[in-house]
Structure 1
Amino acid sequence: MPQTMIEEGRRFYAAQAWMAALEAFERADRDVPVPGPDLLSWAFSAFLVGREQQSLEILTRAFRGFLDAGDAAPAARTAFWLAFAHEMHGDPVRAEAWGRRLAALVEDAGLDAERALVCSGLGHAALSSSEPAGIERALELSRQAIEIARPAGDTDTAVLSSLSAGWALLRLGRRAAGLAELDEAMAVVNCGDVPTPLVNGVAYCSVISASLRMLDVARAREWTMAASDWCAGHPELVPFRGECLVHRSVVKMLDGDWPGALTEAVRAGERLRAADVGPASYQLGELHRLAGRFTEAEEAYRVANSAGRRPEPGLMLLRLAQGRTDAAVLSARRLERETEGDVERSELLPAYVEVMAAASALEEAHSGAEELLSLARALPSALLTARAVTAIGTARFTAGDAVDAAGSLRDASIRWHELGLPYSEARSRAQLGRCYAALGDDEAASLEFEAARAAFERLGAAPDLAALPGSAPSPSGPLTAREMDVVRLVAKGLTNRAVAERLVLSEKTVARHLANVYSKLGIASRAAATAYVYDHGLL
């Protein structure tokens, strides 16, 4: 019977039914110790369904078993996975200790193929260096790992090392080579040639993160779809749903799926440890700010800051949206002095130009836009170019040059449209409409405002919608009058039946209105709807 259960565990693991494999190995182990190779499958199954501590315990048991039996090669490989798992578990000290144990074992036993594991681990660790020499070392070690791993048929190590090499190249400013290296690793993943599912998840997260950092929206979108399909095919999967969900939320937000982006960001916050929740909280802040939920945005930025993620430029833009322009300008000037690095400045400058333009700080707005344009010429990115052209148009309009501003903003709106980024396109068109209005072309202005209004309404971008000419500012944000009637009564504690009676509607209609409210506001409960009503003074 135990042997049968072990075979069952093997079959389930091969079929990527990890919970079933975990349970089969557990039942078998009650009667007879599970063999070393199967312990690894058991440990991986536990890790993939979220039982990280159990996985670490099983891996440690496997390592001791291999070591006692004198099997140096599998012991070394298990030490590598222990270092890997401890790092993913947020324990770098133990990860480093297992890395040293791995290196010593490889050296003492004179292992050849397992040297790839040592080089791969050291290469990954060297990526944290802030010095170019350290990054060069990371690239060198990763290359060495690949050269050893590929002939030995060690696909796991080759893929992980290619990811590290790709990131090293990106850090060194070799963008095209870095992205090509990452694509090569993903080609192996997509062919199904990676034996360990953990590596698949790491690869998807790594390439999406790199694509976003390089402002390559098309690449990020493509790999996000692939990662979503992979995760959907493995509903038991728990890792890679924390920080990776933040990346997916960012892509969804850019694509205009704000409810989907909010769902992913909330789930990411639930998955991540408190110390790592900063990126998820910042992303929540961004989504709340764009939708006009300023109280929620403020709290999200506060949590992000507490978790080590700087809350700007989002908090700075929140202050601007709240009408606190002086506070936004102070933050913008401070950040402009503090922010270094082309990638970091390319993220700050669009917001900096927006704030300075709003404050009529003409020279600073122009200087920021020109720097952004210079960065766009140096860093080939369609997204960055669209940001730069938008900033140039904004700065020109602020300086009173409506003619040239209109040309830049028209170009920007086309670029945003081609990128498939509806919010940025709508903002450019709204500003273009203001240019046309300043030039006296009311018909052209009306067309641009109409297009922008439709997009803002569809997205639920309440502050932008209220700022459009001819729009009466409304604290109700994106809600219709009837939806406001329903949510006000819900906030007073009425049930759906009571709301239906009061408004002479069917309960089904009330439920539909309430579902629309939840979707537009990015909330999921009557309590949240009630809080929104009170926060915005809608009673």
Structure 2
Amino acid sequence: MNDPAPVRQPGFVGRDAEFAALTAALAAPPALVVVEGEAGVGKSRLVAEVLAARTPTSGGRTSGNPASGNRAAGSRAGGSRAVGSRAGGSQASGERPSDSRGGGRVDTVLAACPALPRPHTLGAIVDAVRVAVPDVGALRLSPLAGALRPLLPEWADELPPALEPAGDASAARHRLLRALAELFDRLGVRLLVLEDAHWADDTTLEFLLFLSARPASTVSLLVTCRPADLPDDSLVPVLAARAPAGTTQCRIVLDPLDVDATARLVSTMLAGGPVSAEFAAFLHDRTGGVPLAVEESVRLMGQRADLIHRNGEWRRRRNLSDIVVPRSIRHAVLERVRRLDDDARAVLRVAAVAAHPVPEQIVVAGTGLPVDAARAGLAAAAEAGLLGETRPGVVSVRHALVARIVYESIPAPQRGVLHRRVGTELAATAPPPVAQLTRHFRAAGDVAAWCRYAELAADQAAASGDAESADLLLYEAITEAGPPVDTLLRLVRMTSFGTISRGDRFVRLVAALRAVLAGADLPGPARGELRIHLGRMLMMSGDRGAGRAEFEVAIPDLGHDPGNAARAMVVLGWPEGAEWSAEVYRDWLHRAHDTAATAELPAGLRIWLTASVACGLLFLGDDEGWSYAERVPTAPSGPESRADAIIAKLNLALMAQYWGRYARAGELNDDALATAERYQYRQYLGLGAVNQAYLDHLTGRWAGLAERVDALAADEELGPHIQLDATLLAGLLELAGGAYARAGARLREALAALRRSGLMDHVASVTAALARLALATGHPEEAVRLTAESVGTAGAQQLWMRARDMVSVRVAALVAVDRGDEAAQLAAAFADWAGRRDMPVARATVASCTAVLADGGVDPAAAAAAYERAALAWEALPQPYDALLAREGQAHALVRAGRTDEGIALLRQTGQRLAQLGAAGDAGRISDALRRLGDGPLRRGGRPSYGDRLSPRELDVARLLVGGLTNRQIAERLYLSPKTVARHLDSAMRKLDAASRTALAVRLVESGIVVDAPPTATT
């Protein structure tokens, strides 16, 4: 009689070299190891075998999915208990005595990322540590651990009190990462394993970066992933690039098994019996040598009784050519599933729908079967090797690929029913897994439950600093659920829109809001609020005109909501666009103030509104704005108004800069920065830093300014607007330094980006800088062209503040092209406007325009006197760079007036002061003028301009690069930041026309720039 082959769990074969490499790397901590390979190739099996053979240090234990010595190469489960499923479950094994703190030490934490379309914030890490810490109170965590409450609500009774809300998402995320790192330290974790990193959320990967970058970090990282499935912007490649010096790095690529290894794998599944070369080649051809595919095929043949045991040896029951082995894992899995009985299939489908490891009772209840039948099905699915335990009583489909295949085979209507059942059961657990419940009720089509849990999940993600996940959860509910208007408004109020203001998501979100607004029965208050949200969304996306139009239409529907009405009026009162005069903007601002004056408003909103009215009036050039500024309650009444107070101070500081009240600007900016630093409002720290950089530029504090500005321009965490402000200032510094080509490139880059964003005030500032560049390089016609539109619009609307940087440049350009009458008319119009305002910078600008006009006349003595008055006006601010340019004009006028010695002396003094300031380009121009006058050249000071030559610091970096050091190692040698090193290398590559670091190194050596490289660093 022929008996079916008793198929066993696969042995571990064909990975000796990889096993040795991984073991050796982990034996030299801290290590960073990345194991790569396709689905089912055996990444998790390799990790499990290495962990099983590894002896934990310090009497610790392993938390997560522990290794099992009898699992397949490429399989995650065995028998009825699959202790290594990828679904993120965790189990502590090999427990050892607790340490003196009472919390127990955990040597290894194994976290696995589930295959979800929207990964949960830190989901894999949280699942692992939840099991790793049986008694969190015994760990005696610091108050910082209060940041863990949103992620681990079940620890609420044992964690420190909740922290005060963070200043922004990045600050919240940073302190959460610090809290998790502290937890790992208290546990004594030496190794963190993250499986399936291609499914990880960004915050999880940021945590790995954070752990590895800490000084003297002893935590090793082991990451598995499928390279083909890594998102383009994944942080996994960044891990290796940012590994600190002294880290043992190892990359292991797992390829499919060859024919011989395939034969040995099959042999282990058939009690060690020999496998013919013909049979091994046949299976290898059908499976490609992928271990999971080999295992599934052998199990299928065993179930079919294609292989039989007769007369003491294994034989095939049919001719080899008659055996049908599916060429895909999908077909093999589906055929095996079809061979299960109905109860086992029902259990398997519920587990596939759950996606995460779940308690057995949830799977049993989800089937809708009698309990005994469901439990029998559970046992049958486990016996077939398709279902397993991740820890006692918690089950999941044994492999994510198998789970996906089973899930996709479920008819859509039945899939929705199963999602509802699983969701209903999970909702009764404490605490409910809100992110999972959002997914289940979304798939079930239960709009009310979907939206309810989306709100809760978004709150949880936002509290963890994951604004993107929060926004996406809300976005999906808004655009797909079709919720009632009150629910829709609640969802929209929670959405920051910052992560979805571009692309297809933006288009869909705008369409969804407009579709609701088109409803004839929409109540007026709801319509007004929705229009405000739509307008805000449009403005964030760069369509500021459309956004303002929505605000204007919304106001009549906002009589019940004076706060939102006043907010809309402030937006309409901000002077931008070309459609209204200054009087119209002023009227909107006054209406906003009057609307808010008697209303009961939150403290933060009142601060924002009062400051915004003040800033709007000041940008219109109204002295009245200063009286409004004095009414701003900049001392916040509590945490809820602190951010608004910081914003108010920063904006008022900017207006003080625009007016030339630099002492006041410095006080306001310092106060805002101190508060932002104390409470870690990171985005406002960046804005304050840019404000301070501009103030330092204006007041002549240029020492180290270029490096600070470059760092701000390169810091992507600050956001594009702050980076663009920094780029503009960098262009101005390079213009003064005589680096005209680089200045032009920076300024044109900033102009293109700002035009896309619609920030017209900034566009005017960049255009003014480009006009200055055109004048400096002898192209006054270009300067006239660049300034025409902005100055014309400013004059027509009486919005001269918008052209504040452009008037004197245009006057000089018009004089240079013999259009003096037009220049005089422009200067007179601006002087008339400035004369009615107590605006120091406007008075100095008028003085400069007067001097330029006088310089074009016939009386050089009068021109010299006019330039002196301009210099004194700029010095009074103080604004030394413009004062020195006026002194240069004065000196040339003195020479033309016959006071040559006096003029040359002033010219020399001015050139030296410009050089000391760092304006090497202007100093060079004066040096050339002195030569023409028969005087010697200047001795230049300040920050030198090296043109296309490498600066001394760039040479230092280049020598270490040729020596084989990484950016981080170079940074440590030279006491620089890695970002500064990267900027020096980028500059060197640009100067030497090298497309890569390697090409740069070759160019440096071949050209003789670097001869003696330092010895290569060892790690």
* Same fold flag (TM > 0.5): yes
Identify the match of residue 772 of structure 2 among 294, 317, 332.
317
Q: Is the 8 A contact 2:660 2:877 kept in 1?
A: no
Match of 1:287 in 2: 733
SS at match of 1:184: coil
Give distance in 2, aligned partners of 1:488 and 1:19.
38
Q: How far apart, CA to CA, are the structure 2 residues paired with 1:485 and 1:106?
A: 60
| Distance of 1:374 and 1:123 partners within structure 2 | 29
Alignment of 1:347 with 2:786, yes or no, is no
Alignment partner of 1:149 is 2:600: yes
The aligned amino acid for 1:227 is A
Which digits, 9 at most, give the CA deviation of each residue in 1:57-96, with x for residues without a partner? 6889999xxxx9xxx9xx999778536x337975799699
Partner residue, 2:695: 251
* 1:205 Cα deviation from its structure 2 partner: 3.8
Which residue is 2:959 aligned to?
495
In 2: Cα distance, 1:20 partner to 1:358 partner: 54
RCO comparison, higher one (Cα < 8 Å, 6+): 2
Q: 1:304 aligns with which of 750, 753, 761?
A: 750
Deviations, residues 33-73 of structure 1 (Å, cap 9, x unaligned): 69999999967755xx6x4324546889999xxxx9xxx9x
Displacement of 1:304 after TM fit? 2.5
- Alignment of 1:140 onto 2:591: yes
Structure-1 residue corresponding to 2:848: 390
Partner of 2:987 in structure 1? 528
Aligned length: 494
| Aligned counterparts of 1:216 and 1:21: Cα–Cα separation in 2 | 37
Match for residue 455 of structure 1? Answer: 913
2:823 corresponds to 1:408: no
Q: Which has the larger radius of gyration?
A: 2
Question: Paired residue for 2:624?
Answer: 177
Counterpart Cα distance in 1 of 2:647 and 2:607: 10
Please state how far the C-alpha of 1:392 moved relative to its aligned partner: 0.9
Could you tell me how far 1:422 is from its partner in structure 2? 1.7
| Aligned residues of 1:353 and 1:366 also touching (Cα < 8 A) | yes
Provide closer, same or farther for how the CA distance between residues 77 and 240 of structure 1 changes in structure 2, counting only shifts above 3 A: farther
Residue 53 in structure 1 maps to residue 468 in structure 2: yes
Does the 8 A contact of 1:409 with 1:432 survive in 2?
yes
In the alignment, which residue of structure 2 is the partner of 1:12?
163
Partner of 1:366: 824
Post-superposition Cα deviations, 1:252-296, rounded to whole Å, max 9, x if no partner, equal 321223443663465256356669965554333323222222122
Shift in alpha-carbon separation, 1:216–1:97, aligned structure 2, 3 A: farther
| Number of the residue aligned with 2:609 | 161
1:391 CA displacement: 1.8
**Distance between the aligned counterparts of 1:528 and 1:349, measured in 2?**
34
More strand per residue: 1 or 2?
2
Using the TM superposition, give the Cα deviation of residue 389 of structure 1 relative to its aligned residue in structure 2, in angstroms.
0.7
Higher helix share: 1
User: 1:354-393 CA distances to partner (integer Å, 9 max, x unpaired)?
Assistant: 2234445443443343333223202321011011112211
Aligned partners of 2:955 and 2:892: how far apart in 1?
Answer: 38
Aligned partner of 1:202 in structure 2 is 647
Partner of 1:82: 494
Q: Is the 8 A contact 1:396 1:405 kept in 2?
A: yes
Percent of pairs with identical residues: 15
Q: How does 1:171-250 map to 2 (within 5 A)?
A: 173=620, 175-185=622-632, 188-190=633-635, 193=638, 195-234=640-679, 236-240=680-684, 246-250=690-694
The secondary structure found in structure 2 opposite 1:347 is coil
Rounded to whole Å, the distance in 1 between the matches of 2:944 and 2:733 is 20
From 428, 431, 456, give the equivalent of 1:32: 431
Q: Counterpart in 1 of 2:922?
A: 464
Structure 1 residue identity aligned to 2:843:
T
CA distance in 2, matches of 1:60, 1:7: 34
Residues 1:381 and 1:32: Cα distance change in structure 2 (over 3 Å): same
- Give yes or no for the alignment of 1:122 onto 2:590: no
Contact 1:328 1:355 in 2 (8 A): yes
Partner deviation per Cα, 1:178-214 (whole Å, 9 max, x = no partner) = 23323432xx333564524432343234323433444
Q: Which amino acid aligns with 1:13?
A: E
Against the structure 1 CA distance between its residues 126 and 490, is the aligned structure 2 distance closer, same or farther, given a 3 Å change threshold?
closer
Supply the distance in 2 between the matched residues of 1:458 and 1:212 (Cα, whole angstroms).
Answer: 24
Q: Residues of 2 paired with 1:21 and 1:102: CA distance? A: 42
Distance (whole Å) between structure 1 residues aligned to residue 957 and residue 710 of structure 2: 29
Alpha-carbon distance between aligned partners in 1 of 2:501 and 2:569, rounded to the nearest angstrom: 18
Check whether the contact 2:775–2:783 (CA below 8 A) recurs between aligned residues.
Answer: yes
**1:288, 1:296 within 8 Å by CA — same for their partners in 2?**
yes
**C-alpha distance in 1, partners of 2:958/2:616?**
58
C-alpha distance in 2 between matches for 1:419 and 1:143: 35
For each residue in 1:422-464, what CA deviation from the matched residue of structure 2 results, as whole angstroms up to 9, or x when unmatched?
A: 2112111222222222233344334432432233112221221
Distance verdict in 2 for CA 1:327–1:167, change over 3 Å: closer
Residue in 2 aligned with 1:439? 897
Q: Distance in 1 between matches of 2:501 and 2:945?
A: 48
TM (norm. structure 1) is 0.71
In structure 2, do the counterparts of structure 1 residues 483 and 81 end up closer, same or farther at CA, with 3 Å as the change threshold?
same
* Aligned-pair CA distance for 1:299: 1.4
In 1, are the aligned partners of 2:694 and 2:729 still within 8 Å (CA)?
yes
- The CA deviation at 1:488 is 8.3
Counterpart CA distance in 2 for 1:398 and 1:149 is: 59
2:957–2:985 CA contact under 8 A, matched in 1 = no
Change (3 A) 1:122 1:352: closer
Superposition TM-score, scaled by structure 2 size: 0.41
Residues 330 and 460 from structure 1, CA distance in 2 versus in 1: closer, same or farther, beyond 3 angstroms? same
Contact 1:113 1:148 in 2 (8 A): no
- Counterpart secondary structure, 2:671: helix
CA distance in 2, matches of 1:53, 1:210: 32
- Once residues 156 and 825 of structure 2 are traced to their aligned partners in structure 1, the CA distance between those partners, rounded to angstroms, is 69
**Is the contact made by 1:286 and 1:297 (CA closer than 8 Å) also made in structure 2?**
yes
For residue 695 of structure 2, give the secondary structure of its aligned residue in structure 1.
helix
SS at match of 1:175: coil
Q: Which runs of 5+ in 1 are unaligned?
A: 499-510
